[in-house]
Amino acid sequence: MTETSITAPYYRQNEPQPGEPEKWWRFFTFSTDHKVIGIQYIVTAFVFFLVGGFLAMVMRGELITPEADLVDRTVYNALFTMHGTIMLFMWTFPVLNGLANYLVPLQIGARDMAFPRLNAVAFWMVPVFGTILMASFLVPGGPSQSGWWAYPPVSLQNPTGNLINGQFLWILAVALSGISSIMGAVNIVTTIIRMRAPGMTFFKMPVFCWTVAAAQTIQLFGLPALTAGAVMLLFDLTVGTSFFDPATGGDPVLYQHFFWFYSHPAVYVIILPVFGVFSELFPVYARKPLFGYKFVAVSSFVITGLSAIVWVHHMFASGTPSWMRMLFMATTMTISVPTGVKIFAWVATVWGGKIRLTTPMLFALGGLVNFLFAGITGIMLAAVPFDIHVNNTYFVVGHFHYVIYGAAVMGIYAAIYHWFPKMTGHMYYEGLGKLHFVLTFIGVNLNFLPMHPLGLQGMPRRVASYDPEFAYWNVIASIGAFLLGVSVLPFLLNMISSWILGDEAPANPWRAIGLEWLVASPPPHENFAEIPTVVSEPYGYGKSEPLIAQQMASTELASELS
Amino acid sequence: MSSVNLDQNLNTAATVHAADHHEEGEHRLVGFIIFLLSESVIFFSFFVGYIVYKTTTADWLPAGVEGLEVREPLINTIVLVSSSFVIYFAERYLKKENLWGFRALWLLTMAMGSFFLYGQAVEWASLSFGFTDGLYGGTFYLLTGFHGLHVLTGVLMMAVMLGRSFIPGNYEDGEVGVIATSLFWHFVDVIWIILFILIYVWQ
């Protein structure tokens, strides 16, 4: 069998049913269709991405001059707190949940998630806690100013003395976000364990599903620790208990342990699905099987396991005993092994392939380059002596923005472009997509590369004013930030106009191999007319083996039996 | 000929539907177990926090507090732990399709859980320290309160399952709920045993 027969849309006869994603109003209802919920997640998260990005641009506007002149210092504190909180809890987690929601059932050959109603509830909590967090701009005293990690005793200050203050709303929003994420994680993990199509063993499952399972496992064991810490912080703030307040005998460092036990692995919750996206995209656009598929798949869970034993590297400067610092330095550096396995596999996949530089491929390659850079500075930061030197400086800010924006957001863009034809049934405009990539890639590097020399020179993070000697790099970074702001415009224009006017997308525009490409674009209600039987590994590019067993439609089967 | 075919189709459709239904129940159970594993990490975090506080705080007991009385909580513990066996036999009755036996033992489990909650409330009322009295008071009320909330949830879940057992033909649906509730109850019990050792035995 040749490749064309694999790519032939097997279920082309299933035209989208009435009331399916074309009908836009469905996206404003309590739908239990995983495809609708997936798009709801992605669009809602993107709105919050724009809000968080706007806050970032105000901050960069402030930092373009050394003096604190654009906004008040307390406003600046609120800006960086809200920027971090929004970007993590309201953009990256929901958008990746959206991608997982949309793709996992399609990729494993299921009709929907295991718990469709729970899925819808989990999604509708996102606008709820988003609104709660936004409402903190309106309460007296404004939003929380204690940074996205809300360390006590700073987070316990409550200068206005009101019960409903910015910090209170912050804890409430984060707690609700945690509940929503746990619902999502239970749902996704159950779906992957229980609902795979016949023949789809774990080692025939696409890497995206592996990485999503690995990421959601982190949510399951990590989030409860954050919840425990948040509950205690809430009691300290409202009732006046003394868990974390050193003034009444509490232990503020214990909060840091609770917080980072979740919030470091949370970075892997974000980056693992993006690893999955890279692993899906490189084989398609290089026309080669994924190099070392099993190693790439399993290394995701190695990262999950290691992520649970590295959190103290955020606390090297928190009075941590030196034996503990050495231990966590070693475990942190170990993470680079499974990550290196992946990078090696991606490079080997692309190497010598028939590369098509479409927009998703450009974003994936750009994301890979940025991730490699972020990984190198990550190893530098894992080293205790170096970390003590740059602790709480812009070097750290530069490092994690390369991870979150340079790798994760670019990977998310890659995924959105790659699966846009599948989700909407329309093609996007390649030219606008490439413009978007160029602006984003240049913007990321202009914005975040200067933060590294700034940090090495000792510029602290979270300050509204700085010594004039740092002005040069700050101006460049601010220009990069505004460029990133501009880069969203071609993306928005492209997505909205293509969704309405774009050319009709075939079932498999990229000649990709995978169950999601066997159904029509957009997929019909309940995805598969007949659940396929999977017979071979994914990524069989250049091989002549079919992905699924040929089946007879049930009507033919019935007539044959009679 | 065609009518026979139709019948066959209907039959297969019915069996497929029943199988789907059964599968859905199993999904729920798997999902619930995953949730319980996740929930246990909250307790684990609280326990670790408690151990850290207890071993590092200089003045652990607030002024004027001697420690905790063990006798009544021990009775409470025995009642709660025995209820785990009672609920096991209630489940056995349900498997043997003895609905009234199930209901009787199920109600007994609920009574034992309620007795535990009542005992807890009496103990709270008799204590000389409050939630804000240092780390001792804070951790005590946090741990027992959070656990008590789970006991209350368990009793309410049992009430729902008991009510559902009276809906005719609801037997299959109820079964997954019963297994899940029973699992939850064992979970709450195990947590209490650890909690009892940490708070009452290790003084």
Distance from CA of B73 to the nearest CA of A (A): 24
Q: Could you report the per-residue pLDDT of A261-308, keeping only the tens digit for each?
A: 999 999 999 999 999 999 999 999 999 999 999 999 999 999 999 999
Interface test with A, best of B16, B41, B53, B187 (most A CBs within 10 A): B41
Six token digits for residue A142: 């404004």
Q: Which of A61, A129, A58 is nearest to A90 (CA)?
A: A129
Weakest mean pLDDT among A18-22, A35-39, A89-93, A284-288: A18-22
Distance from CA of A120 to the nearest CA of B (A): 16
Q: Under 8 Å CB-to-CB from A230, ≥6 apart: which residues?
A: A171, A174, A175, A178
pLDDT band with cut points at 50, 70 and 90 for residue A7: very low
Nearest to B34 among A186, A224, A261 (CB): A186
Distance from CA of B163 to the nearest CA of A (A): 23
Separation in Å, CA B125 to CA A179, A346, A439, B120, B128: 32, 63, 65, 9, 8
pLDDT at A336: 94
Does the beta carbon of A19 lie under 8 angstroms from any beta carbon of chain B? no
Q: Could you report the per-residue pLDDT of A142-191, keeping only the tens digit for each?
A: 999 999 999 999 999 888 888 899 999 999 999 999 999 999 999 999 99
pLDDT above 90: residue A386: yes
pTM of the model: 0.91
What is d(CA A534, CA A547) in angstroms, rounded to the nearest whole number? Answer: 6
Does the beta carbon of A249 lie under 8 angstroms from any beta carbon of chain B? yes
Q: What is the mean pLDDT of chain B?
A: 88
Distance from CA of B202 to the nearest CA of A (A): 20
Distance from CA of A93 to the nearest CA of B (A): 18
pLDDT above 80: residue A362: yes
Q: How many helices (H) and strands (E) does chain B have?
A: 5, 0
pLDDT above 70: residue A1: no
Distance from CA of B101 to the nearest CA of A (A): 32
Quick one: B3-201 is in which CATH superfamily?
A: Cytochrome c oxidase, subunit III, four-helix bundle (1.20.120.80)
Does the beta carbon of A187 lie under 8 angstroms from any beta carbon of chain B? yes
pLDDT band with cut points at 50, 70 and 90 for residue B2: very low
Q: Which residues of A touch B37 (CB under 8 A)?
A: 220-221
Distance from CA of B82 to the nearest CA of A (A): 29
Q: Under 8 Å CB-to-CB from A253, ≥6 apart: which residues?
A: A315, A318, A319
Q: Which of A47, A119, A76, A75 is nearest to A466 (CA)?
A: A76
Q: Under 8 Å CB-to-CB from B190, ≥6 apart: which residues?
A: none
pLDDT above 60: residue A552: no
- Can you state the percent helix, strand and coil of chain B, rounding each to 5? 85, 0, 15
Tokens 């008991």, residue? B162
pLDDT above 50: residue A355: yes
Inter-chain residue contact A241 with B131, CB threshold 8 Å = yes
pLDDT above 60: residue A17: no
pLDDT at A525: 84
pLDDT at B173: 58
Tokens 């929503």, residue? A180
Handedness of CA A454, A458, A464, A467 (dihedral sign): negative
Q: Could you report the per-residue pLDDT of A114-154, keeping only the tens digit for each?
A: 999 999 999 999 999 999 999 999 999 999 999 999 999 99
Nearest to A228 among B27, B46, B137 (CB): B46
pLDDT at B21: 62
Dihedrals φ, ψ of A504, to 5°?
Answer: -65, 135
Dihedrals φ, ψ of A239, to 5°?
Answer: -90, -25
Interface test with A, best of B4, B32, B34 (most A CBs within 10 A): B34
In A25-135, beta strands by DSSP E = none
Distance from CA of B14 to the nearest CA of A (A): 15
Interface test with A, best of B16, B27, B60, B136 (most A CBs within 10 A): B27
| CATH code of the domain made up of A30-561 | 1.20.210.10
- Interface size between A and B, measured as CB pairs under 8 A: 97
Q: Which residues of A touch B26 (CB under 8 A)?
A: 194
pLDDT at A557: 47
pLDDT at B26: 86
Taking each helix axis as running N to C, give the angle between helix A410-424 and helix A265-286, from 0 to 180 degrees, rounded to the nearest 10. Answer: 60
A339 and A375 Cβ atoms separated by less than 8 Å: yes
Nearest to A190 among B30, B138, B142 (CB): B30
Q: To 10 degrees, the CA torsion angle through A537, A540, A544, A548?
A: 50
- What single string gives the DSSP state of each residue in A353-400? S-----HHHHHHHHHHHHHHHHHHHHHHHHSHHHHHHHTTBHHHHHHH
Distance from CA of A336 to the nearest CA of B (A): 27
pLDDT above 70: residue A4: no
Inter-chain residue contact A225 with B38, CB threshold 8 Å = no
pLDDT above 80: residue A554: no
Inter-chain residue contact A558 with B5, CB threshold 8 Å = yes
Q: Which of B67, B10, B32 is nearest to B187 (CA)?
A: B32
Mean pLDDT of A34-49: 96
Q: Which residues of A touch B53 (CB under 8 A)?
A: 251, 254
Report the chain A residue with the minimal C-alpha distance to residue B47: A228
B200 and B70 Cβ atoms separated by less than 8 Å: yes
Mean pLDDT of B175-201: 95
Inter-chain residue contact A254 with B52, CB threshold 8 Å = yes
Q: Under 8 Å CB-to-CB from A503, ≥6 apart: which residues?
A: A426, A427
Q: With a CB-CB cutoff of 8 Å, which residues 142-181 of chain B face chain A?
A: 142, 146
pLDDT at B67: 85
Inter-chain residue contact B53 with A254, CB threshold 8 Å = yes
Q: Which residues of B touch A119 (CB under 8 A)?
A: none
Looking at per-residue pLDDT, the higher value among B18 and A378 belongs to A378
pLDDT at B19: 57
Q: With a CB-CB cutoff of 8 Å, which residues 8-47 of chain B face chain A?
A: 8-9, 23, 26-28, 30-31, 34-35, 37-42, 44-46
pLDDT at B18: 53
pLDDT at B98: 87
Q: Could you report the per-residue pLDDT of B77-113, keeping only the tens digit for each?
A: 999 999 999 999 999 998 888 889 999 999 999 999 9
Nearest to B52 among A195, A232, A251 (CB): A251
pLDDT above 90: residue A407: yes
Q: What is the mean pLDDT of chain A?
A: 92
pLDDT at B5: 43
Does the beta carbon of A190 lie under 8 angstroms from any beta carbon of chain B? yes
Q: Which residues of A touch B8 (CB under 8 A)?
A: 558
Interface test with B, best of A180, A190, A263, A562 (most B CBs within 10 A): A190
pLDDT at A11: 41
Tokens 């949730």, residue? B35
Six token digits for residue A515: 């169950």
A83 and A145 Cβ atoms separated by less than 8 Å: no
Report the chain A residue with the minimal C-alpha distance to residue B26: A194
pLDDT at A14: 43
- Which range has highest mean pLDDT (A18-32, A523-537, B103-117)? B103-117
